[in-house]
Amino acid sequence: MLTFTCPYCGVVAEESELTGGGEAHLKRFGPGSSDAEFEAYLFTRKNPKGVHFERWRHAYGCGKWFLAARDTNTLEVFGTYPAQTTEPPADLIAAIKNKRPGWEGWK
């Protein structure tokens, strides 16, 4: 059972307090977008073995959505941050690069 620190309320939350929301930093494509863009938005997910940015909601706590960087292989959590951003914080990216020198970046 995983644990994440909720960046809003500071609680180290058990997985059973959370609901997962899949990949983070998706860009929404609405009316007017091409079929390819819309397909990518709806269905194409990264699914890496390694560093993954993902959405979690502290559903049975403060109710807030937050984002997390986690290694899908070792399950190490590099950090969590509020959802109101379009990209991961620079210091988190630096910390991940430090731990995973071969990492190709989040995009």
Partner 1 sequence: MSTRLAKGGRLLDRSKPLNFTFNGTPLRGFQGDTLASALLGSGRTLLGRSFKYHRPRGLVASGVEEPNVLVNLGRNARLEPDQRATTTELFEGAEASSQNHWPSLDFDIGEINDKIGKLFPAGFYYKTFMAPKWAWKHLFEPVIRQAAGLGAAPKEADPDRYEQTYAFCDVLVAGGGVAGLAAALAEAKAGKRVMVMEQTAFWGGRAPVDGGIIDGLAPDEWVRNAIETLEKMENVQLFTRTMVSGLYNHGYVIGYQRVADHTPGDGRPRHRLWRIRAGLVITATGALERPLAFAGNDVPGVMLASAVRDYVVNWAVSPGDRVVIVTNNDDAYRTALAVLDAGLSVPVVIDARDSVTGALPMAVKARGVRVLEGRGIAKVLGRKAVTGVEICAQAGEGGVIETVACDCVAMSGGWSPVVHLFSHVGGKLIWDEAGAMFRPDATRPPIKADGTALARAVGAANGALTLDALCAEAGLAAQVEPEAPLAPVWVMPAGAKEALKFKAFLDYQNDVKVSDVQLAAREGYTSVEHTKRYTTLGMASDQGKLSNINGLAILSDALGQAIPQTGTTTFRPPYTPISFGAVAAEAKGEIFQPLRRTPMHGWHEAKGAHWEPVGLWRRPYCYPRAGESHRDAVNREITNTRTNVGLLDASTLGKIVVKGPDAGRFLDMLYTGMMSTLPVGKCRYGIMCNENGFLMDDGVVVRLSEDSWLCHTTSGGAEHIHAWMEDWLQCEWWDWKVYTANLTEQYAQVAVVGPKARMVLEKLGGMDVSKEALPFMSLAEGTLGGFPARVFRISFSGELSYEIAVPANMGLAFWEALNAAGAEFGAMPYGTEALHVMRAEKGFIMIGDETDGTVIPQDLNLGWAISKKKDDYLGKRAQARVEMARPDRWRLVGLETIDGTVLPDGVYAVAEGHNANGQRNTQGRVTSTYWSPTLKKGIAMGLVVNGPERMGEVLDFPGDGGVVHKVKIVDPCFYDKEGEKANV
Looking up tokens 């379009």 gives 86
Looking up tokens 């937050």 gives 66
Site pattern 42..71 for Zn ion (x: CB under 5 A): ----------------x--xx---------
Selected range binding Zn ion among 3-11, 31-39, 43-51, 82-90, rule: CB under 5 A? 3-11
Closest Cα partner for 15 from 65, 59, 45?
59
Which of helix, strand or coil describes residue 53? strand
Q: Is the separation of the CB atoms in 28 and 15 below 8 Å? A: no
Site pattern 36..75 for partner 1 (x: CB under 8 A): --x--xx------------x-x-x---xxx--------xx
Q: Is the separation of the CB atoms in 22 and 45 below 8 Å? A: yes
Q: Is the separation of the CB atoms in 53 and 23 below 8 Å? A: yes
Whole-number minimum distance, CB 87 to partner 1, in Å? 14
Which residues of this chain interact with partner 1, rule CB under 8 A?
1-4, 14, 19, 21, 28-33, 35, 38, 41-42, 55, 57, 59, 63-65, 74-77, 83-84, 99
Which residues of this chain interact with Zn ion, rule CB under 5 A?
6, 8-9, 58, 61-62
